[in-house]
A and B are shown apart, each in its own frame.
Chain A
């Protein structure tokens, strides 16, 4: 029985069902459409399984409507991510959507969004890839714009997103044009051999365009500016899908084109990737540390993680250029594991942030707090996600961070001078990023959930509905399982990074072993901690007296603490902001209002501080200003007369004819 055909057909069926289910009346729409999209995700997951066990290519349809499908382990990993995330997000969405996000358009767009992402991961030819990519961009744009009637920020975010995704699409189209014209092959399977004879200049051109186009989708600096605008404004289940699955497809494109199709390249390719990845990681996490909007924090954290994955790919390229396939295999494995783990924990975090948003109406960490007692399940699930994002055991982020550091460190044996300089810098950057990520997520969880509520809205929060908790719980379960027993996923990743005659990464249920000798045993670490912790807890409890709760907190004797006295997110991050203020360039504004009668007496002092995205203010705004000025000048060409415009066309045509005839 041809499993591949069955699951692919199943995806098509559920896409159609999901679209049809959106036409049901509102009270039944969410459940039916959510069910259909969830099953679409599950079928995608099954397709990923088929891709691991029986890689195959097939052609669906005929003639002009021919769709070329390719199932292989690399695509299978991404199908896995998309499928599971879709399942969790759909389940969550059933309880979450209301108002504009529960409309027919939103559900149709969601179904098509998931379907097009899965199409991209299954694409066997350039045409299918491009169609899937663009539909993914368009449907996600529709989803980002869901609440455009409510706020200006949504409209602005949508505009930035639309412009940048189309720009990225153009770059990718250009890259594919170069690629196909070089080798003459438009099927991915045959492209590698076809392109290997191309000139170095052409191959470098393809590489640069791929980096620019896919980097834009992955959110690398400096083309990341759409991410912190679009992801917060989208509905939370959409943010989870975009940040977890769509952004990962940028890395998928990079690996597919640069590692698989192009293969070898000069050293500067790897160095360039290391540079962009490192800068993205560091800048992303710095902006996340000082962000006070919860979803903006998470969006910048996505940039950080994608930067880390790019660092891994860059290291792999360096190793390939130095003819060392095993460290290269480990590095690619690290990139893939980073992407997989990030998808799940970031999805979980966004869903939890959405739960908070729905319960309190707030995204501002400075006004949240006290949610751990009011929304206990959500708080615990967010804690799991935060643990993973901070790369601490027992969550999955720890394993991928370990693998990344190992892949960078093991490269030092027998390396060239350039590599010997670049890799330590990479290790330093990754280590600094890891430390700052811990600070970020301690802030996010500690300020957002612990202590007392800082505003009335947070005080009135209630726990999320069952559907939302179920969706989040599924992702949390995956995060913990992947953190303790990453065997299965590492096995699949190893399939995607096959090197003849060697196994760079081996994993048993209790231990991960690398070909260079390093190993990690997450269950052992957790078991030790839990054992000793339980032992000590039992020991001291046995010796000691029962706990008394409900006492007053120490307030320097006599002061009743109010929530205004708690640390806020801004104050928590202030020391770090001060350390890095050359990069972040916070803007401070002090306004002094004197008393009317005398300007020596002060009536009021106002203080405002903002941390804007430096790349946006120093790089994009000037470019946009130039563009606007040019557009203003160009208006002189357009006086409003339709006839004049047609006259331009007519004149151009006659001139063209004259040129041709002569």
Chain B
């Protein structure tokens, strides 16, 4: 395993982690969307690196696919979800400093949980796995603590990215069909969420999800 490969891998993983943590910090939705696009690029780079190292052409093609999907298509759809210009996550359930502390705690949990995995196969690839799990957990956390509908979508994308990172690092390539399936799932989910958000906007006037409590009878 060449030094360059390890460096490139760690760089990509670190970039992904950084963008995920920043999601907890940034308030403006338009910036968040760009952040997600950047994460998509970093994910594509990660996959491309693994492909380059393993000389796997299929995986390389997959990297391009991921780039197209996560760096371009998904951010485009996300922009359509947020209907108001200048929309921002103004009042999260857990404030920003506490969120960042929580992110650190989640990272610790991920490292603890993936220790047996790393002990099993102590390669550079597998050692980067906790990053993926952290991102997934951060995504869940975003779902849990952010009010806006668009934040829910971002959280969902984070979870998906995190799972993808874990998959690529531990197995060096998921079967094409599985990846296609999960990509389709994500796409469909976001389309549905987009439609739902617009409806919520139309009914309630804004996309604060706590307003949905009014619907309970």
Which residues of A are at the interface with B, using a C-beta cutoff of 8 A? 64, 638-643, 646-647, 649-650, 653-654, 657, 660-661
Contact = CB atoms under 8 A, between A and B. Distances in A.
B209 A650 contact: no
A647 B144 contact: yes
Contact of A646 (B143, B213, B214, B216): B143
A643 B140 contact: no
Contacts of B177: 64
B136 to A, nearest CB: 9
Contacts of B214: 640
A657 B108 CA distance: 12
B112 interface: yes
26 contacts: A639-B213, A640-B212, A640-B213, A640-B214, A640-B215, A640-B216, A641-B210, A641-B213, A642-B152, A642-B209, A642-B210, A642-B212, A643-B143, A643-B144, A643-B145, A643-B209, A643-B210, A649-B140, A650-B140, A650-B143, A650-B144, A653-B137, A653-B140, A657-B109, A660-B113, A661-B113
A654 B112 CA distance: 12
B212 A646 contact: no
Interface string B82-109: 0000000000010000000000000001
Contacts of B145: 643
B113 A646 contact: no
B141 interface: yes
The 8 closest A-B pairs by CB, nearest first: A640-B216, A640-B213, A646-B143, A646-B144, A642-B209, A657-B113, A650-B140, A650-B144
Contacts of B137: 653
Contacts of B112: 657, 661
B114 to A, nearest CB: 9
Interface string B186-217: 00000000000000000000000110111110
Contacts of B109: 654, 657
B22 to A, nearest CB: 21
B144 to A, nearest CB: 5
Contacts of A649: 140
A638 B113 CA distance: 30
B183 to A, nearest CB: 16
Given A639-B213, A643-B145, A643-B210, 4 more contacts: A64-B177, A641-B213, A642-B152, A661-B113
A659 to B, nearest CB: 10
Contacts of A641: 209-210, 212-213
Interface residues of B, number: 21
Interface string B62-97: 000000000000000000000000000000010000
Interface of B is mostly: helix
Nearest to B155: A646
Interface in B120-146: 137, 140-141, 143-145
A650 B141 contact: yes
Contacts of A650: 140-141, 143-144
B216 A639 contact: yes
Contacts of B152: 642
A650 B209 CA distance: 18
B28 to A, nearest CB: 21
A653 B208 CA distance: 25
A642 B143 CA distance: 9
Given A649-B140, A650-B141, A654-B109, A643 B93 contact: yes
Contacts of B213: 639-641
A646 B147 CA distance: 12
A81 B162 CA distance: 52
A652 B37 CA distance: 30
A64 B176 CA distance: 11
Which of B109, B144, B209, B215 is the most central at the interface, judged by chain A CB atoms within 10 Å of its CB?
B144
Nearest to B175: A64
A653 B106 CA distance: 12
A139 to B, nearest CB: 22
Interface in B163-199: 177
A660 B112 CA distance: 10
Interface string B144-164: 110100001000000000000
A65 to B, nearest CB: 10
Nearest to A656: B113
A646 B137 CA distance: 12
Nearest to A649: B140
Given A657-B113, A661-B113, A646 B215 contact: no
A487 B209 CA distance: 70
Nearest to A63: B177
A632 to B, nearest CB: 12
B182 to A, nearest CB: 15
Contacts of A646: 140, 143-144
Nearest to B214: A640
A641 B216 CA distance: 9
Contacts of B215: 640
B120 to A, nearest CB: 14
Contacts of A64: 177
Nearest to B141: A650
B135 to A, nearest CB: 14
A641 B177 CA distance: 35
A650 B137 CA distance: 8
A649 B144 CA distance: 9
A285 to B, nearest CB: 46
B131 to A, nearest CB: 16
Contacts of B216: 638-640
Contacts of A643: 93, 143-145, 147, 209-210
Nearest to B146: A643
Contacts of B210: 641-643
B117 to A, nearest CB: 11
A629 B67 CA distance: 50
A150 B35 CA distance: 51
Contacts of A657: 109, 112-113
Contacts of A642: 152, 209-210, 212
A643 B208 CA distance: 11
A196 B217 CA distance: 56
B58 to A, nearest CB: 14
B172 to A, nearest CB: 21
Interface in B47-71: none
Contacts of B93: 643
Contacts of A638: 216
A489 B60 CA distance: 59
A642 B140 CA distance: 12
A657 B214 CA distance: 34
B152 to A, nearest CB: 7
A640 B93 CA distance: 16
B127 to A, nearest CB: 17
A641 B213 CA distance: 6
A534 B141 CA distance: 89
A654 B140 CA distance: 11
Contacts of B209: 641-643
A660 B116 CA distance: 10
A643 B155 CA distance: 12
A639 B147 CA distance: 16
A354 to B, nearest CB: 39
B98 to A, nearest CB: 15
A650 B143 CA distance: 9
A649 B113 CA distance: 18
Contacts of A654: 109
Nearest to B149: A642
A173 to B, nearest CB: 20
